[in-house]
Chains A and B, each alone.
Chain A
Amino acid sequence: MIEVSNLSRFYGRFCAVDDVSFSISDGEVVGFLGRNGAGKSTTLKVLAGLLTPSSGTVVVDGVDMTDAPTGFRQRIGFLPETPPLYDDMTVRDFLSYVGSLRGMSAGDLPRRIDEVARKTDIADRLDQLISELSHGYRKRVGIAQAILHRPKLVILDEPISGLDPAQIREMRRVIRALAQESTVLISSHNLHEISATCDRILVLRKGALVREPDGAQDPVAPTIGGLAGGPARHHVALTLRGDGPAIEQHLKDSALVEGQSLKVGPELVLAYVLMHEDRVEELVEGLVRAGFGVRRVEDGLSTQLEDVFLDLTAEAK
């Protein structure tokens, strides 16, 4: 439904986005990952219709961005990192204004405002001035304006930045709910957040898409592409003391283990383990009984993702 082909964007002679191509299906929640300066924000701004691409095409729901710019923007909802809000307006007035700008009918607007207010959990703040809202509520109003006109693609730039843990949890729920009526594209520096929220991840390095995991052929696919598949508790990262090959053999023999990946250091062994079930205690007990030292047990999903992220975004040597 969203087709990005050979997208490039230059600032003068500097290439911020370099020949990026990808596609996203309906209802997917896709994460956009990259280090600072990787071209994430520029790509999102182009997709939001804020910037014109230097070359390439972006098609959403069959509408090309350059052929029909206003029709294209009608299909996009965009929340920049700092929500674009008018402090002097109440939330309701603000949403009415945004709805009118986007051509929504006066009859549909009040009902839709109530609907998005429930969805983003701001129903009790509708008549409050935006200047009086907390950071978390401002983000939610920002999301409400982005989804108000039922866009096909919702783009959220760093939606959880500056939120406290409780707000992050709530925001995660809100984002997942968005996928029921739109495709969602999220950029975030928070790797754990990406892993918890997204179906799929696109990684940018120096303006170019590193790779789009698309199945078994891709060596990283089980790590990134499979994030949405298994709940995080089935992945565990173990820091162990012992002989690398012996640990590898032990894990291979264990009935609890579905797959493993080892990094053997001079003193310690880092083992990523994919388990059939959430039976981490039994796995650790088995390792201790076999005489291996267990130094650390972590949520393997975010640890492994961070590792992959650093690998993918590292400078080519």
Chain B
Amino acid sequence: MNAVLTVARRELGNYLNSWWGWVVLALVLLFDGLAFNVWAVGFSPKYSAEVLESFFEASTVTVLIAGVLLAMPTIARETSSGTMTLLQTSPITEAQVIAGKYLGALGFLSLIKGLTLYMPLMIELNGKVSWGHIGAGYLGLFALGAATIAIGIYASSVSRYQMLAAILGGSLVGLFLLMWLVSRGAEPPLKDVFGYMAMYDRHFQPFMRGRINTESLVYYASVSFGFLLLATRSLKARRWM
């Protein structure tokens, strides 16, 4: 566990000490701020719950993009700079490396999203929001971000270049998002399978409406675990290449 935390601390410090981390942070806050004012609050009267729902809906965009961008360098940068050798010759397992990278990236994304908390609280100024709704929405964002980062880390583990990792990671996330579209054109039982795999449509919407959906939490945990396992396998395979 110490090795995992050591890698996670290094990863988190890397975001905080690099322009890259701060650029992602600034862009997320900027976009979320604009989306809150223009999209969520809007220019016509709304119920507070509707404002909050729209805010969480818009926030998914930044979670998905930031998730891919934060995961992009995790392994690919170490590979291209040669420092992966340091990790691979250290007495730690591939699973510990991946877990550390994952925790670091997820921690930073959580930090960024935590900084947007003032927006839903502002709704209290002219309305009334439930803490349960806020909690469920952020839990959904966290789960969505966790799955996105896991996909991004897998993409980073199979790419030597960060840009390639971003393209691959973005494509995979895009594929999972568009599963709802695929399910529309499919016949049962594939329709249900594709529908279940859709990352946003079926699984995130309950959270943004303030409901904690256990089935969706299991889905996000499964996607995260599956891609982290693939990333671990990818690192292990390097010893055979």
A contacts, CB < 8 Å to B: 11, 48-52, 70-71, 73-74, 76, 78, 80, 82, 84-86, 88, 97-98, 100-103, 145
Contacts and interface: CB of A to CB of B under 8 A. Distances in A.
A145 B91 contact: no
Contacts of A78: 85, 89
A84 B82 contact: yes
A50 B87 CA distance: 10
Nearest to B6: A100
Given A50-B89, A76-B89, A101 B6 contact: yes
8 contacts: A76-B89, A78-B85, A84-B81, A86-B83, A88-B18, A98-B90, A100-B6, A101-B91
Contacts of A74: 91
Interface in B59-83: 81-83
B6 A50 contact: no
Contacts of B14: 88
Contacts of B81: 84
Which of B10, B14, B86 counts the most A-chain CB atoms under 10 A from its CB?
A: B86
B93 interface: yes
Given A52-B239, A103-B2, A103-B3, A84 B86 contact: yes
Interface size class of B (residues with CB under 8 A): 20 to 34
B239 A101 contact: no
Interface in B154-195: none
Contacts of A76: 89
Nearest to A51: B239
A100 B2 contact: yes
Nearest to A46: B239
B79 to A, nearest CB: 11
Interface string B221-241: 000000000000000000111
A56 to B, nearest CB: 15
Closest 10 CB pairs of A and B: A74-B91, A84-B86, A100-B6, A70-B91, A101-B90, A73-B91, A84-B83, A52-B239, A84-B85, A78-B89
Contacts of B84: 84
A101 B87 contact: yes
B17 interface: yes
A82 B86 contact: no
Nearest to B77: A86
Contacts of A52: 239-240
Contacts of A80: 82, 85
A52 B6 CA distance: 25
Nearest to A73: B91
